[in-house]
Amino acid sequence: MVFTTPTPSSIQEAYNLITPYVHRTPLLTNRTLNTVASTPQTPDALVGTPFEGSSPAQPKINFFFKCENYQRIGAFKARGAFHALLRLIERVGEEEVKKKGVITHSSGNHAQALALAASTLGVPAYIVMPRISTPSKIAGTQSHGAEVTFSGSTSVEREAVVAEVQARTGAIFVPPYDDFNIICGQGTTGLEMHAQYLDAVKGEPKLSVHNKAGGVGAGLDAVITPVGGGGLNSGVATFFSDKETKVFGAEPNFEGADDCRRGLDAGQRVERVRTLTIADGLRTPVGVLNWEVISDNKKVAGVFSVSEEQIKAAIRLVLERMKVVVEPSAVVGLAVCLYNEEFRRLVEKEAPDGWDIGIVFSGGNTTVEAIGKLFNS
């Protein structure tokens, strides 16, 4: 597979193209969560970890939350879908794309995003979704006029059904994450976050940990995003690759969902993932093209994982303290900052004065019933 490496300039070009079609989502702060993150975990929280018996870390963290749960279709995926479809029309021609239509596979957010982009641009859309997809995501996809076909939950099962539908329709495949144009579209999340952070701390310097250290810096110290297929993380890492900001990834560790972290440890991409983590948007392995970016330690400084209980605890804090509705996949980055002692010790060691950390809330496609089930199980 030939890979054209994305660059910060290609992220800017993507942003210029998709701006008429996507929202500029808000960047929020929250002093309560800053306090929670900057307070040591209890010794009990370290029992059963490599840090058991040692003093818990006490990093200083101020958060800046990029709320892509407020994006069109409720997730950052709208950025990549619009960019990929607009570039496809440029390359193939509007008449041909409208005649054949487009197809993808997704557990929900890319499904809805491509369905929306296709509907907006007058293109037929065929979407393959796992049968276990969240009902609200299925309904959201169908509401944009897409034809939905169901499959098993693994990438192999999804791809087999895609091939069947393509044979019937001739639809053009738009990858959910493993694609140059998808990566560039998702990377616009980082572009917006950077600009919004600079505006925020310029107008209110006390939002930054660096205000007490003699003035705010030239950008966020770190950004952490969820990692599923890797489109968001590789796109954001590409945007920040010419800046001082460190980019990290976050994953659930349930049933091997932390394939990116394990792959980095082993020096080789993990090709298959079978997991039913509550973070349903992160059940896929990192894509080949995304891996080229994420495995470059000059672009991604590390990937950390958290448990299902830690994800639930992070969701509870966001719901109760921020009054913001998010899905489980969206809070894995926050959970890493709050509960992953290895990451917390890294912040403490690297920055005695603390870090301003950007957290991407990747989506908010959940329901009252789904949230209730999380806390009743």
Dig out the tokens for 12 from the structure: 């800017």
| CA–CA distance, 21 with 11 (Å, rounded to integer) | 16
Tokens 């002692």 locate to 341
Distances (CA, A) of 335 to 3, 289, 301, 363: 32, 27, 17, 15
Residues 6+ apart with CB under 8 A from 344: 41, 56, 57, 59, 337
CA proximity to 301, closest of 258, 356, 244, 255: 244
Active site residue 107: yes
Q: Where are the alpha helices (DSSP H) in 204-295?
A: 231-239, 259-266, 288-294
**Counts for the chain of helices (H) and strands (E), in that order:** 15, 10
| CA–CA distance, 305 with 172 (Å, rounded to integer) | 35
Q: One of 107, 155, 234, 329 is an active-site residue; which one?
A: 107
Q: Nearest 10 degrees: CA dihedral of 297, 300, 301, 303?
A: -120
Active site residue 77: yes
| CA–CA distance, 300 with 223 (Å, rounded to integer) | 10
DSSP strand pairing (302-306 vs 246-252) = parallel
Dig out the tokens for 272 from the structure: 């298959």
| Cα atoms in the 13 Å half-sphere on the side-chain side of 52 | 5
Distances (CA, A) of 205 to 39, 62, 201, 213, 222: 22, 12, 4, 11, 17
**What DSSP designation does 270 have?**
-
Q: One of 10, 60, 66, 77 is an active-site residue; which one?
A: 77
**Residues designated as active site:** 77, 107
